[in-house]
Structure 1
Amino acid sequence: MSSTDNVNNATTATIHWNPEGTPVATDYDDVYFSVDNGLAESRYVFIEQNQLSERWLNHPSPCYTIAETGFGTGLNFLATWQHYQQHLADNPNSAVKRLHFVSFEKHPLALKDLSQALKQWPELAEYSKQLIQFYPAIMTLGCHRITFHSPLPITLDLWIGDVHENMPEVPNTRSGLVDSWFLDGFAPSKNPDMWSQQLFNGMAKLSAANASVATFTAAGFVRRGLISAGFAAKRAKGFGRKREMLVGQFIGPKQPAELHQRLYHRVAIRPGESVAIIGAGIAGASLAYALVKRGVKVTIYDQACAAAAEASGNKQGAVYPLLSPNQPNVSEFFQHAFNYHRHLADQLEQQGYPLDQQRCGLLQLSYNQKAAQKNQNILDAAYPVELVHLVSSKQASSLAGVSLSNEALYYPLAGWVNPKQLVNTLLKVASLSGLLDIQYQQQLVAMNTTEHHVELTFKEGLQQHDNVVFCQSHSLLELEQAKHLPLTPVRGQVSHIDSNPKIGALTKVLCYEGYLTPASQQQHCIGASYVRNGVSKIMDEQEGLDNLQSLQNCQAQAWNQQLSFAKVAGRVAIRCAVRDHFPLLGALPDIENIYAPQYLQQWQQQTPPYYERCFIAVGFGSRGICSAPFATELLAAQLCGEAIPLKQSSLDSLHPHRFWNRRLIKNRPLELRYR
């Protein structure tokens, strides 16, 4: 059955099976692949007619991007993955070293239907097994990034929702993103809404120079639509009993950058360049992991003597999405960050590096009227029940293993992770590439850019790199070029509580004014204080007592009244927050020149000023454990000029220039400080 279609939830496909065992989309009355030989058709129409082997040999970039309309059973993706592996085996010096597959699907198959359909292709079992393993568990609308490592790396971006809504939201590059198109929706006669001039024009906007296109249909209006959009489309011999099909190449001119593209321009590094990262917390480690996967040489510098010395060094951190129905971009970003965090953990486990974590579920308690209204707003937004749903106080108590006074929102796939172990695992796996160097006890005091490199002055000496990404905490504000960034240091103290038989029965993470975790090594974490502009790292006895009191006030239960601090009573760290809950992700703004008269007079014709070769991934606040791995995957894709797995409208909300851009567009005076 289909789920209810709404703004936050995808409608899964309703299918049935014909006598030949082929899946048929009930709503479109069309098969997902050819009854004769779907795999052979996929190889002929899309792989052969797009001339992929020939194009991969001499492609100008190490990354090749294929885009597809209609993911269906994933047959085209799996066939392409298999073909790419064989191509590299036969051509080890091929120019293309990374394959990126972007697919649009309005009605994704349910996992059980996908599994049944792919049983027809045993020769693809090596690949379909992984697709089934990592297929999205929560079908939220937007882009789901899935990366596969075996037998060869390949990235799948599965865009769930109407292609006419999603395609304009795909972040583009100035030279175009897509190198080949698989135009493979249901037949035009069955699905006329998809085969539109709007679609063809959208394809043209995303196409790189000479991008190829192939489709099984030979319909005249499709050929004319492609030609009108800028493709040289022609008929070719069809597969099997089909007399003709269409092939083509993009020859149209690229459109000049519009105002929005200039204001939210994203900068890439040059091929072959290295990157220095300042900070070995969750952001720095995640970024290093994402970059070395792309073949980028990375050096991490940290002023501490080990990784995860700041907020990333806590024993337990809750992992769940921040949902804010009144701020759709916030919810969009955090839903996909949550999904990606789960996928990353699964990836690491597949590679033999399991994390210290529990996907035990999380209860967000309606502990007072304000919290109850907030929870109701989330409930009214109708997110997928696999993501979040309401439970009564009785159900919450049963789930948690302890008595609870209030109903709650239940996040069944949420839980906790050991942040310090996560950071060290990412660094360990990244180091295996041979592309990562880590240098501790390096305190940055100054930075200077030249035409060809960045000079980083540490107390211990001068270092030069092609590029730098700042991922540290509030210490970034001590840098002259970053002192006016809209960042606020926030002191947070987490308390460690010895477990006992009563509180030890807790099986879920509890969220209220603070949070409480199930026991790990006979201790619970209660947190955390939130002191804006606090930078002291000295443990405060009163803050620890306040953490306890917050739990007891929100849930006056016998199980939480006799609690004692552990021998190591807690931990203090300084987080960095941004007032709109988004991190700053992208090029480092040159704030002085934003206020310069020459820019203010011509801002509509210019790219906002930024420091060449300098980037930032900062301001994750108290949600960095969940959001930083996804955010740095976005940044790594940007730096390497690849597809970015987030809607453009949400990506704009992460842009470091966003506060100034918004005021310029609204013709409002600029403010120097946004904290």
Structure 2
Amino acid sequence: MEWRNGAPFNPQFDDVYFNTEGGIEESDYVFIQGNDLPRRFSALERGSFNVLETGFGTGLNFLGCAHQFLANNQCAHLNFISIEAFPLTRDELAAAHQSLEHYQREAKWLQQAWPSACDDTQTMIIHPRITLTVIFMPVEQALEQLIVCAQPQTQAWVQPCFDAIMLDGFSPAKNPDMWSKEVMQQLAVLSHSNTTLATFSCARMVRDHLQSAGFSLSKRRGINSKREVLAAKAGEKLAQPISPATTRSSQHEAPWWSFPSQPLPQRVAVIGAGLAGCQTAARLAARGIAVSLFDRHAAPAQAASGNPQGVLYTKFSHRKEPLSDLALQCYQFAQHYYRHQLDISAPWSGVLQLPKNDKDATLQRLVGQRFIQQPELVQLVDQAEASKLSGMTIRSNALWFPQGTWMTPPEVCRQLIANQRLITTHFNTTVAQLDFCSDRQQWALQSQPTLDSPHFDQVVLCTAYDAHALLDPLLPLKTRTIRGQIDRVQGDIVRQLRTTLTGEGYIAADGDGTATIGASFVVDDLDPAHRLEESAHNRHLVAQLSPQLQAEHANLTQLDARVAFRCASADYLPIAGPVPQYREMVETFAPLRKNRRMDIRNYGHYQPGLWLNIAHGSKGLNSTPMVAEMISSMICNAPSPLSQRLQRAIHPARFLMRDIFRGVSL
């Protein structure tokens, strides 16, 4: 970004982002008033209002939209998705925002949340009731990410649509790709019958492409230097596949991941009050949905989420693959969410990740090279710098997460559900069975104690490995239970630690000479008793992190120990999304055993209103905020913050479909 005549300017497209004189008024008139947003915001009582913007730029339209939403709505949620192929840095945004006097509050929120790595798709919670997702791709590619399925037979059933579209960007003469016929057709697929569209351009090409996609147009009086601007309303869905660009990835792919849309729920039951359950309940409540939160324990976070200290960091890869891409998106989302949206007491003293062996050291060097332009996200540091950061001698290079920290998971859970008028808690309550009542189209919960009102429109299972007891036993979720023991220790050596150290094991010091060390890793062992050999093993792991810890680990005073059981999937990714109907899925997609490219034009078969959010393993602090945001969006028929590729990567039906593709007998 450059500055010309006091205005932010893009030299690549030879155009200004906005005029500093009258820019706010122009944005408000063309896009906010052009989509009739103040009136529509005030009429929304719950759920999400979904806005799509084709060019984020400096975020001016988003800032105005967020400002109007908070001024006109007190109970629902704004889901704003924008596209930007050439993102500005945080500093460039801050410079561009200086002249936006009316939006300084919203601008501060945006700058705080802006990601260090503008890669693929990034989601930010700007306000408890405002979610911003920016897709950092060219517009046609980005819209393809939003389209669930390009097959017209299933579009009407499965496609979450937008309520308003802001068709913005540099002028058609300077950026014609953004105004192409294919783009307008994609926008039509992402629209419903009440979707509105607004744009500053009345160019003949733009009008022709919008009309050919089924939009009805009306010209409005212009503003400032613009003689006329354009408003539009979506028409009927297209009857044919919309474009080669949209269909190229799905024309030979059965859309098993897609499912029919459902009415906005009145009541949702969330079963399990650990990190996954409390995050899900909080994000649903932010959308105006009444939630009943159940747990068999007397308080939240009493099982796997109950450790006194958990570490917020992640494991990056030098390659783009689902596991590392999800980790990147979740980490940036989570660290901002905890720091700015929750009142969490955490030291924010960083996390130092040491290599476990020579191979790990090589991979860390590659990660450091990949993120060399984002040192505030992660950076490779040498032995001297690692020793300085940690306060102890470190014998290798390491990855430094300056925005990492440790925090107390039970405190996080309490904060998530505290003072939430739409969340009703039911502790000391065991849900033993779920029954779908077809006449009511609701789920009946059989619990102990019994409920006065046991019927719910939708149910989200956040009960880790216990979810199997409430599901079809034939459904292959491919999870395993991992016994993990942590130990609380005390000693003078702990006071030297300036940051959290991780490697084969970890040590997180709380500042008063005590620390949590761990953790053991024992598969399919459900014994809850503390074991001396596992305490010794944890001390051994910590001893490998530094010579000082190696010398003093035997002298650490044992305070207590805790055993918990984590749930992990076979591919180490969460399992989150709608619960498949096993027999119907097998029957519909069985032909794929013989021909994976067979054109099966059916959406998947899923239990109506039944969802899973499990298998976060040891990274629940990192992954549960984003996954909860995804599930709450899907429940409200809103576009997901995760790309279609990543949604499929964590989909509950993925193991079943892999078995079908491999010809496994079911």
Corresponding residue for residue 6 of structure 1: none
Q: Determine if contact 1:518/1:524 at 8 Å carries over to the other structure.
A: yes
Shift of 1:459: 3.9
Q: Determine if contact 1:166/1:647 at 8 Å carries over to the other structure.
A: no
1:523 aligns with 2:521: no
SS of the aligned residue for 2:468 comes to helix
Shift of 1:639: 0.6
How many residues are aligned here? 637
Aligned residue identity for 1:549: H
- Compared CA separation, residues 659 and 26, structure 1 to 2 (3 A): same
Corresponding residue for residue 349 of structure 2: 360
| Worse overlay, 384-393 or 162-171 | 162-171
Corresponding residue for residue 640 of structure 2: 644
1:346 aligns with 2:339: yes
Corresponding residue for residue 472 of structure 1: 463
Aligned residue identity for 1:357: A
Q: Determine if contact 1:497/1:563 at 8 Å carries over to the other structure.
A: no
Q: 1:165 aligns with which of 141, 157, 172?
A: 141
Shift of 1:57: 6.4
Q: Distance in 2 between matches of 1:447 and 1:617?
A: 16
Q: 2:360 aligns with which of 371, 375, 398?
A: 371
Shift of 1:347: 3.7
Shift of 1:176: 4.4
Corresponding residue for residue 653 of structure 1: 649
Q: 2:216 aligns with which of 200, 218, 232?
A: 232
SS of the aligned residue for 1:357 comes to coil
Q: Determine if contact 1:277/1:298 at 8 Å carries over to the other structure.
A: yes
Aligned residue identity for 1:445: A
Shift of 1:358: 2.3
- Compared CA separation, residues 256 and 58, structure 1 to 2 (3 A): farther
Q: Determine if contact 1:287/1:636 at 8 Å carries over to the other structure.
A: yes
The superposition leaves residues 203-222 of structure 1 with CA deviations (integer Å, 9 ceiling, x where unpaired) of 22212224222222222222
Corresponding residue for residue 405 of structure 2: 415
Corresponding residue for residue 10 of structure 2: 25
| Worse overlay, 559-568 or 252-261 | 252-261
SS of the aligned residue for 1:194 comes to helix
Corresponding residue for residue 134 of structure 1: 113
Shift of 1:312: 0.6
1:42 aligns with 2:24: no
Q: Determine if contact 2:580/2:605 at 8 Å carries over to the other structure.
A: yes
SS of the aligned residue for 1:669 comes to coil
Corresponding residue for residue 113 of structure 1: 92
Shift of 1:238: 2.6
1:226-625, aligned counterparts within 5 Å? 226-233=210-217, 235-254=219-238, 262-266=255-259, 269-326=262-319, 328-349=321-342, 354-382=343-371, 384-428=374-418, 432-451=419-438, 452=440, 453-461=442-450, 463-479=454-470, 481-482=472-473, 484=475, 485-500=477-492, 502-553=493-544, 555-557=546-548, 560-595=551-586, 597=587, 600=590, 604-625=600-621
1:72 aligns with 2:68: no
SS of the aligned residue for 2:600 comes to helix
Q: Distance in 1 between matches of 2:483 and 2:72?
A: 53
Q: Determine if contact 2:7/2:16 at 8 Å carries over to the other structure.
A: yes
Q: Distance in 1 between matches of 2:637 and 2:551?
A: 51
Q: TM-score of the superposition, structure 1-length normalised? A: 0.87
1:201-240, aligned counterparts within 5 Å? 201-233=185-217, 235-240=219-224
Shift of 1:644: 1.2
Shift of 1:488: 0.8
Shift of 1:576: 0.5
Q: Determine if contact 1:365/1:512 at 8 Å carries over to the other structure.
A: yes
Aligned residue identity for 1:608: G
Identity %: 28
| Worse overlay, 272-281 or 236-245 | 236-245
Shift of 1:611: 2.6
The superposition leaves residues 463-511 of structure 1 with CA deviations (integer Å, 9 ceiling, x where unpaired) of 33332211112222333525743211111111222131x3321112222
SS of the aligned residue for 1:263 comes to coil
| Worse overlay, 254-263 or 650-659 | 254-263
Corresponding residue for residue 595 of structure 2: none
Q: Distance in 2 between matches of 1:269 and 1:229?
A: 26
Shift of 1:519: 3.2
Aligned residue identity for 1:201: Q
Q: Determine if contact 2:163/2:191 at 8 Å carries over to the other structure.
A: yes
Q: Distance in 1 between matches of 2:499 and 2:22?
A: 49
Shift of 1:426: 0.9
- Compared CA separation, residues 23 and 159, structure 1 to 2 (3 A): same
Corresponding residue for residue 188 of structure 1: 172
Q: Distance in 2 between matches of 1:278 and 1:28?
A: 51
Q: Gaps (5+ residues) in structure 2?
A: 149-156, 242-249, 593-598
Shift of 1:253: 1.6
SS of the aligned residue for 2:640 comes to coil
SS of the aligned residue for 2:656 comes to helix
Q: TM-score of the superposition, structure 2-length normalised? A: 0.89
Shift of 1:60: 10
Q: Determine if contact 1:42/1:76 at 8 Å carries over to the other structure.
A: yes
Corresponding residue for residue 63 of structure 1: 48
| Worse overlay, 226-235 or 280-289 | 226-235
Corresponding residue for residue 596 of structure 2: none
Corresponding residue for residue 9 of structure 1: none
Shift of 1:648: 1.0
The superposition leaves residues 532-556 of structure 1 with CA deviations (integer Å, 9 ceiling, x where unpaired) of 1111111111111111112324544
